Chains A and B, each alone.
Chain A
Amino acid sequence: MSAIELRQVSKAYGDLAVIDALDLSVEGGSFVSIIGPSGCGKTTLLRVLAGLEPATSGQLSVDNRPPEEARRRKRVAMVPQQPGLLPWRTVRANARLLLDVNRAANPVDALTPELLLAEVGLGDFGAMYPHELSGGMAQRVALVRALALHSPLLVMDEPFAALDEITRSEMRHLLNRLVEGKAVTVLFVTHSITEAVALSDRVLVTSARPAQVVADITIDLPRPRSVDVEDDPRFFELCADVRHALHRGNGTTATGGGA
């Protein structure tokens, strides 16, 4: 059973085609990154999968349900680009936010936010307010907020894009540690080749708008992945593969576009 299944999914705003006849199948428990040029419709794809807007045409299922139903049942957890923490809530209360609303749909096996906070190194910061946190800490709270739902699908939209390089590298290893060996399926949108390769089982390279998958690269680096994985010669080869695919993808649409 695939965690995500898209068949000929299109999304248009008026005449503007953002996603065009996209086929995609993501196996449960895998980590899939989507990398592509800015404005190619990646965020739109995530919003469609999260049930926040309907597709214009095509068939899609998330966790074997229509996305709208998955959303109502809290089966999709989002980590946005901006942490979106509520400034009047403490770290602890922010970590609980998604459990505090639509409670009827809370899973019986929801995780305890306090334990997750401790796991990401924020155990002593529960009583602090967001303005007292660094960018990396705030994004870790956002990660805990999503993980606490214990939903089968985690959808992340460039969550580390606003962080500095050192923090980003820490965050990728934290994320690997948190999701490795768990049943969660992750769909991760990024602009960073390093990030995509370090985290993923599969990297999907997309073209400029309308979004099409131009390459599907399997990342065969062993798990669990330590920090050292980024020194592995295979890591560099895979980064180069993704980079070439990105260039090819853009070249193709640059000449083939104009429609």
Chain B
Amino acid sequence: MKHRVLAPIVGILCFLGAWELLVQLNDVRPFVLRAPSRVVDNLFSYPGTYAEAAWVTLQHAYFGAALGLAGALLLAAPMAASRFVEHAVHPVLTLVQVTPFVAYIASVVLWLGPGTRPAVFIVGLVCLPAFAFAAVDGMRSADPAARELLASVDASRWEVLWRLRLPSALPSLFTSARYNVGLALIAAYLVEGGNYANEGLGAIGKKAALFPSTRDAADALWAAIFAMAILGTVTLLVLSVAQRALMRWHVSQRPQLR
């Protein structure tokens, strides 16, 4: 248990140390790579600014992911129940998954207006395919003996979904959530760079990128990147805690034999 806390900290400190050394020894230009010490220094010089921006980005990512999850569950229930629906919806989801969303951010902003709405929408759209595929797989994996049993007392479709299929999908949903954390944050960051709201870490990054040669801009850009990394790490931690709470019954959450 001890090394589960200690080992990641050691790993990250070594990584940051090597980075610091590389920058200090080779005198790398600030916009190419900033020394971690300077980035941290900058973060703590303007804590309010970055915290405020991070809070906005966090909301975009979380509300968007929640929207994507809700949409995925709505699609997955009929997909798991009918092969026809699955085969019809699957290619559409694949299209969403492989199309570069960056390319249509501007269109969505035109459609939904500046600010929060396009950010939440695009994050939702980006998270939708992985959540939907995972939910369908998970719902299909429901124990056949339990399905038969529920059928033998004429449980309704809704009851089977709620009591059996949805809990069966939890493990795969958590796996896809870990994958979607990065996608959701990156999508939020990129939309914030183009939604004319001047809010969020993405807006800070975008502004900095407009003046790449100045030291302040380099500081701001790298501080935004660090803040994004912190958001991602915290989110993964939250997911782990939620998973432990909701899935105590699952093999993956029990002590492993080595």
Residues of A near any B CB (own CB < 8 A): 50-52, 71-72, 74, 76-78, 80-88, 97-98, 100-102, 105, 129-131, 149
How many A-B pairs have beta carbons closer than 8 Å: the answer is 68
B149 with A84: CB separation less than 8 A: yes
Closest to A47 in B: B148
Pairs A–B under 8 Å by Cβ, sample size 27:
A50-B152, A51-B152, A52-B152, A71-B154, A72-B154, A74-B153, A76-B152, A80-B145, A80-B149, A84-B143, A84-B148, A86-B167, A87-B249, A87-B250, A88-B247, A97-B150, A98-B149, A98-B153, A101-B153, A101-B156, A101-B159, A102-B154, A105-B153, A129-B249, A130-B249, A131-B254, A149-B153
User: Could you tell me the distance in whole angstroms from the C-beta of B167 to the nearest C-beta in chain A?
Assistant: 5
Q: Which of A50, A98, A100, A101 has the most CB of B within 10 A?
A: A101
Question: What CA separation (Å) do A105 and B152 show in the bound complex?
Answer: 12
Q: Is the CB of A86 within 8 A of B152?
A: no
B31-66 vs A: 1/0 string, CB under 8 Å?
Answer: 000000000000000000000000000000000000
Q: Say which residue of A78, A102, A131 sits within 8 Å of B156 (CB atoms).
A: A102
B146 at the interface (CB under 8 A from A): yes
Chain B residues contacting A50 (CB-CB under 8 Å) are 152
**Which residue of chain A has its CB nearest to the CB of B170?**
A88
For residue A97, which residues in chain B have a CB less than 8 angstroms away from its CB? 149-150, 163
Task: Verify B153–A88 contact, CB threshold 8 A.
Answer: no
Is B163's CB under 8 angstroms from A71's CB? no
Known interface pairs A86-B146, A101-B159. Does A129 touch B248 (Cβ–Cβ under 8 Å)? yes
B106 at the interface (CB under 8 A from A): no
Residues of B122-170 contacting chain A, CB below 8 A: 143, 145-146, 148-156, 159-160, 163-164, 167, 170
Given A80-B148, A102-B156, A129-B249: A88 touches B254 (CB 8 Å cut-off):
no
CA distance A149 to B167 in the complex (A): 24
Q: For residue B154, which residues in chain A have a CB less than 8 angstroms away from its CB?
A: 71-72, 74, 102, 105
How many residues on B have C-beta within 8 angstroms of the other chain's C-beta atoms?
A: 24
Complex CA gap A100/B146 in Å reads 14
* List of A residues within 8 angstroms of B155 by Cβ: 101-102
On whether the beta carbons of A78 and B249 are closer than 8 Å, the reply is no
CA A197 to CA B111, docked complex, whole Å: 75
- Nearest A residue to B156, CB-CB: A102
Chain A residues whose C-beta falls within 8 Å of the C-beta of B160 in the assembled complex: 101
Known contacts A71-B152, A101-B156, then 5 further A-B pairs from the complex at CB < 8 Å, ordered by chain A residue? A52-B148, A78-B152, A86-B143, A86-B167, A101-B159
* Beta-carbon nearest neighbor of B147 in chain A: A84
CB contact between A100 and one of B145, B163, B170, B251 (< 8 Å): that residue? B163
Residues of B within 8 A of A82 (CB): 143, 145
List, in ascending order, chain B residues with CB within 8 A of A86's CB: 143, 146, 163-164, 167
Q: Name the A residues within 8 Å of B249 (CB-CB).
A: 87-88, 129-131
Q: Which residues on B sit within 8 Å (CB–CB) of A131?
A: 249, 251, 254
